[in-house]
């Protein structure tokens, strides 16, 4: 089995390996620390309870670590732009790769539409007289310009955005534990609240099964870590950079997410948590920190721009990968002299604008379907990674190669891939019992079926 080429077309330009370990680390970390942590953490607490939410995020952290171990083995051996979509195509089936890539593209395209609107809404706090569409257009143009300059410009911007978020999370954790142990005033008192709130209404006030039903939302909160794989094709020295990024990123994710959830769950009751307000803002307000709302408004704005920056990058590379693998028109595969797949970038931006329009004018029909598919897509994409690894190892042995030749090996193979598959399947099935997330299955499964049918008919037409 030969390593996959990063570009299957000649005279169409080349992607440039301009990302360092520093960029890759912040890309993955920044792609995860976004609205999933800043906003949906409140939903998780309200549904699973404070203690149940911590358990859910611990399980989520374990799952994302195991998924990244599976991805790491293939990404180091075959560092291509498109990553898991290419692996699914080669080691599961071409139809699976086609479906996985479109799922991931839609996931980020939808996210982009909502992020431009979200950023514009946040700006209205400071500029209430300016209409939302003005700022939405401005931020869309800004993110497009950053991605269009070069992969290095994208990486440097993401490093800047992510640094602000990371600093904010660290400050929040320090002040939060200060409030828990009585060193920081909380709710007008300096009394240590400790961890009594975690089990005030019982460890699992809505039942232990609630922890399972929120796993789709938790997994979605961790989405973005897989950007390590997508960026592999544009990373310097992937043999050492990717394993290092996986280990350091996941370790810090566990610290950031789990410690943040411990703080939120300890300081917010199940009745105070939800999705109407950012839980971080609620906690900061209770600490009587001056300008807390403005500070968090800026941090969340940065988080949204960071997610938009990463999202457009992911969209363009997945669309380019579809073209590179011959699944859509080869017209899209063109790369300019700065190493940017400009045609894929423009088409991804069109998808983002359509999602933005749908969210504005058809939130109860088209947009809810897109959002549901996006939530379903994250778990679907992750599910393809351990399945692809099983096929990769089988092909590796079939080609007569020794496991010692692998530059990075997933430990405890094949147990880890099978464990990941079981956990992700359980999280998908469990949402059938949650009316708020059930739409993900209702819209997601038919979409995958449509992708398989389209690919089958297209392949048949080519043969016939």
**Residue 163 confidence (pLDDT) above 80:** yes
pLDDT in tens, 325-368: 777 788 888 888 887 889 999 998 988 888 778 777 776 666 66
C-alpha span between 317 and 399 (Å, rounded): 29
Which residues, in sequence order, are CB contacts of 41 under 8 Å at separation 6+?
A: 53, 221, 260, 261, 264, 279
Q: Taking the chain, what is the end-to-end CA distance rounded to the nearest angstrom?
A: 29
Q: What is the mean pLDDT of the chain?
A: 80
Does pLDDT of 111 surpass 60? Answer: yes
* Domains along the chain with CATH numbers: 21-463 (1.20.1740.10)
- The count of residues in the chain is 464
Using a pLDDT cut of 70, give the percent of the chain over it: 83
The β-bridge partners of 80 are none
DSSP states of 218-279:
HHHHHTTTTHHHHGGGGBSSHHHHHHHHHHHHHHHHHHHHHHHHHHHHHHS-TTT-SSSS-H
Tokens of 276: 């109407």
SS3 288: coil
Q: Write out the two tokens for 88.
A: 């699914």
Read off the pLDDT band of 145 (50, 70, 90).
Answer: very high
* pLDDT > 90? residue 393: yes
What is the distance between the alpha carbons of residues 234 and 32, in angstroms, rounded to a whole number?
20
Taking CA 386 as the corner, what is the angle to CA 383 and CA 389, rounded to the nearest 5 degrees?
A: 140
């Amino acid at each position: 089995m030969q390593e996959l080429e990063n570009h299957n077309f000649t005279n169409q330009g080349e992607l440039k390996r301009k990302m360092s370990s520093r960029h890759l680390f912040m890309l993955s970390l920044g792609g995860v620390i976004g609205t999933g942590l800043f906003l949906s953490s409140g939903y998780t607490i309200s549904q699973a309870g404070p203690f149940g939410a911590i358990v859910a995020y611990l399980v989520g952290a374990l799952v994302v670590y195991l998924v990244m171990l599976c991805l790491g083995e293939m990404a180091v051996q075959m560092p291509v732009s498109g990553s898991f979509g290419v692996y699914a195509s080669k080691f599961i089936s071409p139809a699976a790769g086609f479906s996985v890539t479109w799922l991931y593209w839609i996931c980020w395209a939808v996210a982009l539409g909502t992020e431009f609107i979200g950023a514009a809404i946040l700006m209205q706090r400071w500029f209430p007289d300016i209409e939302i569409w003005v700022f939405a257009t401005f931020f869309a143009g800004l993110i497009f310009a950053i991605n269009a300059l070069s992969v290095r410009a994208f990486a440097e911007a993401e490093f800047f955005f992510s640094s602000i978020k990371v600093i904010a999370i660290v400050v929040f954790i320090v002040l939060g534990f200060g409030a828990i142990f009585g060193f920081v005033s909380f709710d007008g008192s300096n009394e240590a609240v400790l961890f009594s709130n975690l089990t005030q209404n019982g460890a699992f006030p809505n039942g232990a099964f609630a922890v399972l039903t929120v796993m789709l939302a938790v997994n979605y909160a961790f989405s973005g870590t897989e950007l390590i794989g997508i960026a592999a094709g544009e990373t310097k020295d992937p043999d050492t950079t990717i394993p290092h990024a996986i280990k350091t990123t996941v370790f810090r994710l566990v610290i950031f997410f789990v410690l943040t959830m411990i703080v939120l769950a300890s300081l917010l009751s199940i009745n105070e948590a939800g999705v109407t307000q950012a839980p971080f803002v609620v906690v900061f307000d209770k600490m009587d920190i001056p300008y807390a709302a403005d500070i968090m408004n800026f941090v969340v704005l940065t988080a949204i721009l960071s997610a938009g920056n990463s999202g457009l990058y992911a969209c363009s590379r997945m669309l380019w990968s579809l073209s590179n693998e011959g699944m859509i028109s080869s017209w899209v595969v063109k790369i300019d002299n700065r190493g940017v797949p400009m045609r894929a970038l423009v088409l991804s931006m069109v998808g983002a604008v359509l999602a933005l329009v749908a969210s504005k004018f058809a939130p109860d029909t088209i947009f809810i379907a897109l959002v549901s598919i996006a939530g379903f897509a994250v778990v679907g994409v992750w599910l393809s990674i351990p399945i692809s690894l099983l096929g990769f190892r089988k092909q590796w042995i079939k080609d007569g190669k020794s496991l010692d030749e692998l530059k990075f090996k997933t430990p405890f193979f094949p147990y880890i891939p099978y464990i990941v598959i079981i956990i992700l399947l359980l999280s998908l099935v469990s949402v059938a019992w949650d009316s708020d997330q059930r739409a993900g299955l209702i819209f997601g499964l038919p979409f995958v079926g449509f992708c398989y049918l389209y690919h089958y008919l297209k392949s048949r037409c080519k043969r016939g």
